[in-house]
Amino acid sequence: MPAQKRKSDAGQSSSSKKARASHASAKALVKAILADPDSYPIPDSDEDIRQSLVYLAQYVKDLEQDVQQLEGTGSVPKVLSADQLDAAVEKIRKAAHSGIKKQMTWKPSCKAGTAKWCYDGVCGDPVVFGTLLGLDGPPKWKMHKMPIEDFENCIGDLDASARYSHLYLKGPHVNIRWSESGEFRFSGTYGA
């Protein structure tokens, strides 16, 4: 008996996916009204006014549903109060400071100031990361070179005792990598 082919489901839409209207008329209406709110011409016909209000109401309802879906998935970034922001920055700062300092141990390359350190971390909120580094908002770069003095102003002084000498960050800068997923890396060199 020959195999039978199944009918294709391509023409059918699933019930879980809601067909979205483009809302082109509502967007155009909003744009026209906001372009000149004081002298926007109001239609004479009650039916035209009613249709404009229906376009706007449908558009607003779909926007509200989009926001509710984003809030349900946790995709909407939370706005932190000043105290919450300071606490989040301090938590990451302490962890980075401690993690870097623990790596600053004596190695033969410390004599030349070329011993390497690298700290990997995660910060889910780009605003917190930007505040940690003294930026005016979230980082707009993926890789950045920050002078050591500026880096230590943000993280704290980084020095350690080893054998009979003190170890400090060396080199002209600290390398900073940032990814949109919230992962970051600080790296550089240190020595005596």
Collapse the DSSP code of 119 into the 3-class scheme (helix H, G, I; strand E, B; otherwise coil) and give the result.
Answer: strand
Over residues 91-109, mean pLDDT: 87
Over residues 28-36, mean pLDDT: 79
Maximum average pLDDT range among 43-52, 62-71, 183-192:
183-192
Q: What pLDDT score was predicted for residue 16?
A: 38
Q: With the CA atoms of 74, 79, 85 and 91 taken in that order, what torsion angle do they form, in degrees rounded to the nearest 10?
A: 0
Q: Strand locations in the chain, DSSP E?
A: 115-122, 143-147, 159-162, 165-178, 183-191
Q: What pLDDT score was predicted for residue 175?
A: 92
Indicate whether this model's pTM tops 0.75.
Answer: no
